[in-house]
Each structure stands twice: as C-alpha cells, then as structure tokens.
Amino acid sequence: MPELPEVETYRRYFEETALGQTVMDLKAEDPRRQLTIDYDTLLQALKGTQFVSTHRIGKHFLITLSTGKVLVLHFGMTGDLAYYRDEEDTPQFARIVFYFQNGFRLAFIDSRKFGRVGLAASIEEYQQKKALGPDALDITLAELTTSLEKRKAPIKPLLLDQKILAGIGNWIADEVLFQAKINPAKTANTLNPEEFEQLHAAIQLVLNTAIEHEALYQTFPKSFLIHARGWDEVVETTASERQVCPRHHTPLAITKVGGRTTYFCPICQPL
DNA sequence: CTCAGTGTTCAGTG
DNA sequence: TCACTGAACACTGA
C-alpha cells in the first residue's frame, strides 16, 4: 500500500519524531532478507550518528546521517513506521527497530517483509543506482510526454514504471486514469496532447489530494474511484453497492492490465 | 486449505 | 540492447 502519499506522510511523521535523534543500536529480525547490506556494516554506520534531514524520491525514503551517509527505507507493500518508548508498546510485525539515546525507538513495521533498509553514499548516487525517474510530483508535462509518447505498452503499467516517474502504485494509477478519463489499456503512443495534459493534471490532483488527507482513504473526496475498492468501509456494503462509478453510478469494470488488478469505468474511460 | 494482493526484480521472448 | 510480459518473492487475512 505505501505509495507516494503514504511515504510522504511517513516522512512528515519521522520529521516530528525521530529526526535529530542519536542512534545507539539496531535490531533486525530477518537481516539477510530485509537489509540490503550486512547487519554489522549498517550498525557501525549508524551507531553514534544523528538523523539530520529527510528526503523522498517516489516511494523511497532517504535519511541523511550526521556522517553524510544516507539511510534508505523502502516500505514494500506493507511497511509503516512507529515511534515509541516502552518495550510493551512494540507494534506487531516490528521487523527492524532503531534505538535512540533518548530512550525512544523507531520501528520499521512490515508484515509481509517486502520492505528494505539499506545505506547509500548520497541521494544522487542512490537515485542513479536505482535508475529512478523524476518524482511524480515534480515531473513536468514535457518530461512526461517525451518519456511516454513513443511507448507501445498500455499506459497503466508505464505509470507504474518507477524509471519513468517515481511514486505511482496500483491504486493511484487507476485513480489517475479515472480522473483523466483515459482507459488503462490504451497504448501510450495513441494518447493525444490533450490527454497527456489531462494525465499530468490528474497525477498532481490525486497525489496532492492524497497527501492533504494524510493518505487516509476514507476521507478522500466522493469523486474518487478508490472508494470502490472497498478498503474504507465503516458500514458493511456489498460488492455491487461499492463497485460503481462515482460519476455514473454504473458498474465498474474490474480486469487485469499488466498483470495487476485494475478498476475503471467503461463509460468515462472508453477504449 | 486456498488464494488475492501489494511493489520490485528478474528471466524469457521478440 | 531495448521494450515488453509474466512469474516470483513472503506473508497475512479473508
């Protein structure tokens, strides 16, 4: 679930809690899987250093240490952060825990263990090594058009390609295409300039709205497709009540595009 | 017990 | 080498 808005929300949470703290110790439940460098090297790099500043590229969260090195967190599908003090408050699935001099701790929570923690020499080195494209909030219309206009793949999997733009995941891709009224299976090279403009505006709209709402789906505008996914039910609803277009109240199509579950409205987003 | 689902990476194909 | 497709990864929760 952590896509750009969640990671931005985590970053802001980190700024209010762990930023400025001095790291004393580190525990990792499954270091060989979840740490991208060996445990001893990471511990030595962290011990006695402070978390000085934060940065985000797409879904990647980067923390600059007082030594200048950069701690990198990627939340995979189920990652989250929690700052707390007492052992008994340790959240479930706290896979990696940072221990601070002030007695508090920061847990990297990750039930499905797809998250990764590692170290980079600098922000630029990391972005280059991972071949990350511009952050989805920073990409210009011209950049977006240039990188998509010749591509023959369906638009949706290209929006998920972090090398083209960084930060969009499965539900945001669906939401963006719904707001832009573009069919997810439409090949990128058939989009006209007006559609690229709508796409670019929809990326801004969806990401900024999600960040404003601190990535809490339940509070997103009624006009958002995300409510159809049934993640935010307060009251029980049936699938047929839920899986309708917010504009037409007609049934949505639920298919696979690029191997991923895809929701769209066949009326708003014709092929 | 089975299986969907989330993001990334990698093997395979053209 | 590049563009694209599809499976694999670990695990929970339905």
pLDDT tens for the 271 residues of chain A, in order: 688 999 999 999 999 999 999 999 999 998 888 998 999 999 999 999 999 999 999 999 999 999 999 999 999 888 999 999 999 999 989 999 999 999 999 999 999 888 999 999 999 999 988 999 999 999 999 999 999 999 999 999 999 999 999 999 999 999 999 999 999 999 999 999 999 999 999 999 999 999 998 888 888 999 999 988 877 655 455 565 668 999 999 999 999 998 899 999 999 999 8
Closest nucleotide to A189, Cα to C1':
C3
- Joined together, the tokens standing for residue A168 give 């969009």
Q: Which are the catalytic amino acids of A?
A: 2-3, 59, 260
A132-163 pLDDT, tens digit per residue, is 999 999 999 999 999 999 999 999 999 999 99
**pLDDT for residue A240:** 59
The residues, any chain, with a CB within 8 Å of residue A134's CB and separated by 6 or more, are A143, A165, A166
Helix (H, G, I), strand (E, B) or coil at A165: coil
Residue A30 CA distance to nucleotide B9 C1' (Å): 19
> Residue A61: what are its φ and ψ, rounded to 5°?
-110, 125
Is the shortest CB-to-strand distance from A158 to strand C under 7 Å? yes
**pTM here?**
0.93
Residue A193 CA distance to nucleotide C13 C1' (Å): 44
Q: Which residues of A20-57 are buried (b: 16+ CB within 10 A; e: fewer)?
A: ebebeebebeebeebbeeeeeebbebbeebbbeebbbb
**pLDDT for residue A238:** 57
Centre a 10 Å sphere on the Cβ of residue A159 and count the other Cβ atoms it contains. Answer: 26
| Residue closest to B9 C1′ by Cα | A130
Is the shortest CB-to-strand distance from A1 to strand C under 7 Å? no
